[in-house]
């Protein structure tokens, strides 16, 4: 089974494996953590401890581990594996080359160091988002150049909603000034996100200052079906209210 470790710092999900870890453990412990992060638009920092109380993974758990990894690895901001078991240490060291987040292996006696390392990881790149289920609106806060990972996380949140709803009422982008993209990959991922989602978003509001912000709604109207409007940076509440008031918001499927 998987038990919560109670002394984890805020923002870190710390788990300890005891006995056999089964598919049920993934369904009742791991998947709710991932689902909550996806809904809230945040990243996951996770510690997994495999001490002497751990026996094995069942075949169902191994399959569930693969499913969670393939579907959600971009939501993870950092992983710490705490164990003295040789095969788990080697598997973690090999696996860290296959995932986009940093992974470190610690001895069982160094759990405090592992928790400290996770807590000390730098915050995200300055881009975060949140979904308000009541208004069916995603609000994106932008403080740094946009990366491809930001659009991957945003797409996961939007797609999770659209699996059970026809549309999102709207999207609000809040930025002091538009910072551009970190690189060409970020720009291309932005274009792909717009291509894949613009038909299912009714309104888009840009709450930002600067000359480029004035131009974006005019340019956007040529590329998206959504109604687009510009607000000042300090007018976030008005932008959210306008987006939320879009008529005929998509209902639940």
For residue range 85-94, what is the model confidence (pLDDT) as tens digits?
999 999 888 8
Which range of residues forms the domain containing residue 35? 2-120
Query: Do 99 and 147 reside in the same domain of the chain?
Result: no
CATH number, domain at 97? 3.40.50
Instruction: Find, among 222, 218, 225, 217, the residue nearest to 200 by Cα.
Output: 225
pLDDT digits (tens, 9 = 90+) for 147-176: 887 888 888 889 989 999 999 999 999 998
CATH number, domain at 188? 3.30.750.24
Taking the C-alpha atoms of residue 141 and residue 139, their distance in angstroms, rounded to an integer, is: 7
SS3 at position 26: helix
Instruction: Find, among 45, 104, 42, 37, the residue nearest to 77 by Cα.
Output: 45
Alpha-carbon distances, residue 157 vs 33, 42, 75, 140, 250 (angstroms): 14, 10, 10, 11, 16
Indicate whether this model's pTM tops 0.85.
Answer: no
Which residue ranges of the chain lie beneath pLDDT 70? 62-71, 74, 97-100, 122-126, 213, 217-222, 248-253
Query: Do 115 and 131 reside in the same domain of the chain?
Result: no
């Amino acid at each position: 089974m998987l038990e919560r470790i109670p002394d984890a710092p805020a923002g870190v999900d710390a788990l300890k494996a005891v006995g056999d870890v089964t598919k049920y453990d993934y369904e009742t412990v791991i998947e709710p953590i991932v689902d909550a992060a996806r809904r809230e638009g945040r990243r996951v920092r996770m510690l997994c401890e495999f001490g002497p109380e751990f026996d094995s993974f069942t075949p169902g758990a191994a399959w569930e581990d693969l499913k969670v990894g393939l579907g959600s690895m971009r939501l993870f901001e950092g992983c710490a594996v705490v164990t003295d078991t040789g095969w788990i240490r080697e598997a973690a060291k090999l696996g860290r080359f296959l995932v986009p987040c940093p992974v470190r292996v610690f001895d069982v006696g160094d759990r405090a160091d592992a928790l400290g390392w996770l807590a000390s990881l730098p915050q995200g790149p300055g881009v975060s988002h949140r979904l308000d289920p009541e208004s069916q609106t995603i609000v994106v806060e932008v403080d740094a150049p946009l990366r491809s990972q930001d659009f991957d996380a945003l797409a996961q949140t939007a797609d999770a909603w659209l699996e059970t709803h026809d549309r999102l009422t709207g999207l609000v982008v809040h930025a002091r000034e538009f910072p551009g993209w970190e690189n060409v990959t970020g720009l291309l991922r932005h274009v792909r996100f717009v291509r894949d989602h613009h038909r299912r978003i009714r309104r888009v509001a840009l709450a930002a200052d600067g000359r480029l912000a004035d131009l974006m709604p005019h340019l956007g109207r040529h590329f998206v079906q959504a109604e687009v409007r510009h607000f000042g940076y300090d007018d976030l509440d008005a932008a959210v209210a306008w987006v939320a008031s879009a008529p005929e918001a998509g209902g639940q499927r």
